[in-house]
Amino acid sequence: MLHVALLVETSREYARGLLRGVARYHQEHGPWSIFFEPHGQNDPPPFWLKSWRGDGILARIDDKRMANAILQTGIPTVDLRGAFQNLGLPFIGVDNRPVSKLAFEHLQDCGLRNFAFCGTPRGQNPNQDRRCDYFVDSVKAAGFECEVYLGSSRRGQALDWDKQQRQIVKWLQQLPKPIGIMTCHDGRGHEVLDACRRADLHVPDEVAVIGVDNDPHLCNLCTPPLTSIDANPSRIGYEAARVLHSFMTGTKIKSDPVLLGPPRGVAARQSTDVLAVADDEVTAAIRFIREKAVEGIRVKDVLKLATRSPSTLERRIKRILGRTIKAEITRVRLARAKLLLGETELPIWKISQRTGFSEPKYFCDVFRTNEDMTPSDYRNKFRDQV
């Protein structure tokens, strides 16, 4: 039996998702003898590691102390954090480009035209640095500008909560409104929403906020609840366990990073429940689509909302969203279908029924056309590895 140590914190949803993926692999391909004890991020290396004689390690390597302790063991290890570039260890992580792109698209679909990113000081976490850069790239590629705030520190130490919040308030106050802000993770999203309350800024009407990791406890502790992107960490944990198994059984493993994507989707909550569109009739029509698309509405049902010419309403919606009414109905239905495919075991015909498609065959055809795979293939590839 292979002996594996899991040096993964339990204090964050992303890390807990990794553990769910490892558990799934262990159930399917074990058994392993697993050494694991709950701990927090940045905890020191465990005292037993120096003399441990196991077969493999899955670790979130946060600092040089942990890196050196693991490297000194000589035990096959897969890194799940990627904080250091030259450890010579395989790294499995999230592809942040589609994460940032999805965040921008969600904010843009809210009708927003001002954008910003709120992160942590550059160099603290390479993944968060890339998340920022990719978001800025997406905003600029669409022809907009992006404000960036990356926090402050003094002599290498993070500012205390009140000082940090005062700085975020000052930054928020000088931003154009209404604005959509992506944060590097849900914790930063919580801080931005708190700063909005301090600054008397209305969320989501003046400031819409989207985080990353979809920690349901943290997101729902926020006021208002925080919209977040589910990066599907369980899939990453599953793949890391697979790579470690190969590593432990003699396969030569490259140390090149393996980045997995795309994310599972957006968990939309109240912090982005806004349509920043000056045209009240268009706003009403888009809200109707997003609330009723899964009930099987058609284009003609939307056009009934027109107080003037239906064709004029259709042209105005296309100008604002960049797509037709029919395409928006399809987008909303498919977004809901993808969440159901990833989060439930509902049969395909039931998902077709719940997302407003007239019949399962039509649902499968539309899904394949838009996603370049069948619903079943999507479920197999992106479902939560619980």
279's tokens: 């045209």
HSE, CB side, 13 Å, CA atoms: give it for residue 224. 17
Chosen CATH of 280-382 out of 1.10.260.40, 3.30.70.1350, 3.60.20.10, 1.10.10.60: 1.10.10.60
As a whole number of angstroms, the distance between CA 287 and CA 317 comes to 11
Question: What is the Cα–Cα distance from 370 to 334, expressed in whole angstroms?
Answer: 9
- Residues facing residue 267 across a β-bridge: 228
Residues of the chain with pLDDT under 50: 155-156, 384-386
Is residue 58 within 8 Å of 92, Cβ to Cβ?
Answer: no
d(CA 249, CA 230) in angstroms, rounded, equals 32
Rounded to 5 degrees, φ, ψ at 355 are: -110, 10
CATH number of 3-94+233-262: 3.40.50.2300
Asked if 341 and 381 count as a contact pair (C-beta separation under 8 A), the reply is no
Q: What's the CA gap between 151 and 164, in Å, rounded?
A: 7
Let me know if domain 96-231+266-272 sits in CATH 3.40.190.10: no
Measured from the Cβ of residue 249, the count of other Cβ atoms closer than 10 Å reads: 11
DSSP state letters, 172-204: HHTS-SSEEEEESSHHHHHHHHHHHHHTT--TT
Nearest one of 301, 303, 373 to 337, comparing CA atoms: 373
Each residue's pLDDT tens digit, 28-74: 998 999 999 888 878 899 999 999 999 999 999 989 999 999 999 99
Domains 3-94+233-262 and 280-382 share a fold: no
What pLDDT sits at residue 277?
76
Positive or negative: CA dihedral 344, 350, 356, 362:
positive
- What is the pLDDT at residue 322? 83
Pair of tokens at residue 201:
């800024």
Task: Check residue 159 and give its pLDDT.
Answer: 65
Q: Does 176 sit behind a cis peptide bond, omega within 30 degrees of 0 on the bond before it? A: no
Q: Where are the domains of the chain?
A: 3-94+233-262, 96-231+266-272, 280-382
